[in-house]
Amino acid sequence: MLFLAGCQGMSQQTAEQDVSSPDTAKVTEHPASTQSISLEPIRGAQSGRLIEPVTLPPADLWQRLRMQLEWHSIDNPQVAAARDHILQQPTYLDVIAARSELYLHYIVSEVEARGMPAEIALLPLVESTMDPFANSPRHAAGLWQIMPATGRHLGLTSNWWYDGRRDLRDSTRVALDYLEALHAGFDGDWLLALAAYNSGKGRVSRAIKYNRKRGKPTDYWSLNLPRETREYVPKLVALTSIIATPELYAATLPPVANAPSFAIASTGGQIEVSRAAQLAGVDEGLLRALNPGQLRWATAPKQPQELLLPLSALDRFEAGVAGLTDADRVRWRHYRIRRGDNLGSIARKFGTEVAMLKDVNKIRGSFIRAGDTLLIPQNSSWAASLALESGGLPKTRDYQVRRGDSLYGIAARFNVSIADIVSWNSLDPGAYLQPGQQLTLYLGSGG
């Protein structure tokens, strides 16, 4: 859960920079550079035959990127200020390196496959400090900080069970699609495309039109854009320069393995996340970090039934899944609504959540009709595990969040875990508690 807490928004530079004429106004698309180190051909000592060069991929992912990065040649006062701001944060490079271990290799590979500049792979470091659980005050979410409306426009699924904006593969796919479209729309100028990614295509287009009417340059550095956008591109360029030449700035980047960090495993059907973690032999926190789009206690029923797992856990997980019976999976029962029932009473009766009942049964509002049928999950790992531990049914307690409360404080007060509170109440791990919010706590027989 410490991993899940992470950074909850984008870090912003504090000083507004002068928008002066650029040293470099436009960055053009280029093919990806080689990703390996080639040794020169040599001749055998005795035979004299030419020996083919040995090709070794770099062990460090940062080195793989350095062989392709080009934007670090852009240097002006805005970039210098952004670079100083990054270097003044003593733990920043350590944090982004640690988080990059799970996600960056995949993102780099996807960017290279499209022939996009390698710098684009670093954008999640600027957007979210590579935290898939990050939320912005404007409700952007995930590694790429995609807004709800943008996600819908790009075809991402977002519902009670699943948020594609947080999923590594789905969010990366649509973010790169969107950036490619913006790149084409701004005549191959990547800096303008990035500005539009941050503040919207319309805003950047209007700024270009304004300058054009007045005979002014229309490159990124010359436009009158919102402060956040004026700081956004310089921060990416500054980060590029640090990664490209860390020795120049006395910076140390912890190495990140240049190797895949996960495998894709079929679950064979809907499965509880805690059971999947047990089958794989991994910590549930790690499993959720690899699958941040899965919001609830079980995998989303209408999404592809697969999970990302550490490579070392794949064989064990597949063997475990092969041995599951129907009783081991999430099972659903049909409940006929009786006179006097309401969603709250039904949810309490079956140990589930009103929001889940509404989502699964496509109910808008709170109205239900006697005689209609609801789909309800028959088992839930958190309720079952507590019942086993306590020797009976868990006791419940309703708790109203007060000003100043935190998940940590509530968990300590009632001797439960933060993970349990999140699971019991279907909370977004990256969202803040709100005063007046109702929580349900399962305290066991000794609570």
Question: Which residues does the annotation mark as catalytic?
Answer: 127
Look at the chain and count its residues.
447
Q: Which helix (H) or strand (E) holds 65?
A: helix 61-66
Are 338 and 372 contacting, i.e. CB atoms less than 8 angstroms apart?
no
Contacts of residue 120, defined as CB under 8 A and 6 or more positions apart, other chains included, come to 111, 176, 179, 190
Are 129 and 95 contacting, i.e. CB atoms less than 8 angstroms apart?
yes
Longest dimension (CA), the chain: 94
Are 87 and 243 contacting, i.e. CB atoms less than 8 angstroms apart?
no
Q: CA-to-CA distance for 144 and 107, rounded, in angstroms? A: 11
Task: Give strand ranges (E) for 67-194.
Answer: none
Q: 126 in helix, strand or coil?
A: helix
Q: Which residue matches tokens 């279907």?
A: 426
Q: CA-to-CA distance for 342 and 293, rounded, in angstroms? A: 30
Q: Which residue matches tokens 């912003």?
A: 12
Q: Which helix (H) or strand (E) holds 204?
A: helix 201-213
Q: CA-to-CA distance for 171 and 133, rounded, in angstroms? A: 12
Q: CA-to-CA distance for 355 and 360, rounded, in angstroms? A: 9
